[in-house]
């Protein structure tokens, strides 16, 4: 028997949604406003997007952001999935399980500014032995993997908890190897968690500013860093256009995750 939400609950829900999305809507509106200065409407135009795409600095920052997001996501997804499988399928003791839970959740709850300072300190120590750890793309990729991997592990672990461990034994009873059981039985069921973790890691990398600000170099500027640098000169319609594209890409990735999970659940019910 379903229960209807009270009017107060619905009102608070709508207020929360409005606080979340109205600022994003205004950014999108300003990005197509022909009036460059002020908050008055000067007509519809896509000229700011045209200028944005002809800006070499934006193109360079966009390429850096995509390279960083794709590379760090691939690495974090591979190691995060393996780590989640190792934690879940290995009979660790209670103390070790507590240690793993604590270690995985630390990067999730640690403020970005503290993690950024810690990473800068570590890279500074590494540079005394290896010059490749100068501020730049390598440091960015490593830094993003550090905070991405925890999210991947948590999502994959939640999916693993719903997969019975005796499925491998059942597959081996049907004359398959342990490796074959993993690839033909476990990983297909785990694919939704892996993909969801990868897409979440991708969006986190794409939107990150604080950590990137501390570890980036002069030739590894990303889109969030470019937006921040441009704000010092005043908010222009090109920044609104760029912000709108970043928001659209982020929402698009999350929509893909939602649709994929829904289609997978429907396929399981059939």
DSSP notation for 176-245 = --HHHHIIIIIHHHHHHHHHHHHHHHHHHHHH--HHHHHH--TT---HHHHHHHHHTT---HHHHHHHHH
Instruction: Indicate the helix (H) or strand (E) that contains 31.
Output: none
Q: How would you classify residue 81: left for phi > 0, otherwise alpha for psi between -120 and 50, otherwise beta?
A: alpha
pTM: 0.80
Q: At what angle do helices 137-160 and 112-127 cross, to 10 degrees?
A: 130
Q: Tell me the per-residue pLDDT of 237-269, one tens digit each, with 9 for 90 and over.
A: 888 888 888 888 878 877 877 777 677 666 666
pLDDT at 1 over 50: no
The pLDDT assigned to 206 comes to: 85
Residue 156, both tokens:
């994959």
**179-197: average pLDDT:** 81
Looking at per-residue pLDDT, the higher value among 62 and 169 belongs to 62
Non-local (6+) Cβ contacts of 31 within 8 A are: 48, 49, 237, 240, 241, 243, 244
pLDDT (average), residues 73-91: 89
At 144, the pLDDT band (50, 70, 90 cuts) reads very high
Looking at residue 69, its pLDDT comes to 92
Q: What are the backbone dihedrals phi and psi of residue 103, each rounded to the nearest 5 degrees, phi first?
A: -65, -40
Question: What are 6-59's pLDDT values in tens digits?
Answer: 778 888 888 888 888 888 888 888 888 888 765 677 788 888 888 888 888 888
Alpha carbon dihedral 6, 7, 13, 14, in 10-degree steps, equals 160
- The Cα–Cα gap between 266 and 163 comes to 17
| Sign of the dihedral defined by the CA atoms of residues 180, 182, 183, 186, in that order | positive
* Whole-number average pLDDT of the chain: 83
Closest Cα partner for 254 from 198, 208, 210, 211? 198
Cβ atoms of 249 and 60 closer than 8 Å? no
């Amino acid at each position: 028997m379903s229960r209807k939400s009270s009017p107060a609950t619905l009102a608070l829900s709508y207020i929360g949604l409005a606080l979340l999305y109205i600022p994003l809507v205004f950014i999108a509106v300003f990005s197509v406003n022909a009036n460059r200065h002020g908050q008055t409407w000067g007509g519809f135009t896509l000229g700011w997007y045209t200028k944005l795409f002809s800006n070499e600095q934006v193109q360079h920052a966009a390429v850096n952001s995509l390279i960083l997001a794709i590379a760090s996501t691939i690495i974090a997804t591979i190691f995060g999935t393996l780590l989640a499988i190792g934690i879940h399928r290995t009979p660790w003791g209670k103390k070790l399980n507590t240690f793993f839970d604590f270690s995985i959740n630390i990067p999730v709850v640690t403020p970005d500014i503290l993690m950024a300072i810690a990473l800068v300190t570590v890279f500074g120590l590494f540079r005394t032995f290896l010059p490749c750890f100068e501020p730049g793309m390598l440091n960015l990729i490593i830094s993003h993997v550090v905070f991405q991997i925890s999210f991947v592990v948590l999502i994959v672990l939640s999916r693993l908890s719903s997969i019975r461990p005796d499925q491998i034994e059942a597959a081996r009873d049907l004359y398959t190897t342990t490796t074959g059981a993993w690839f033909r039985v476990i990983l297909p069921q785990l694919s939704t968690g892996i993909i969801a973790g990868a897409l979440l890691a991708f969006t986190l990398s794409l939107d990150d500013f604080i950590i990137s600000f501390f570890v980036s170099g002069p030739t590894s500027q990303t889109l969030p860093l470019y937006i921040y640098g441009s704000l010092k000169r005043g908010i222009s319609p090109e920044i609104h256009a760029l912000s709108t594209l970043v928001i659209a890409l982020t929402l698009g990735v999350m929509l893909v995750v939602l649709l994929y999970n829904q289609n997978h659940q429907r396929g399981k019910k059939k």
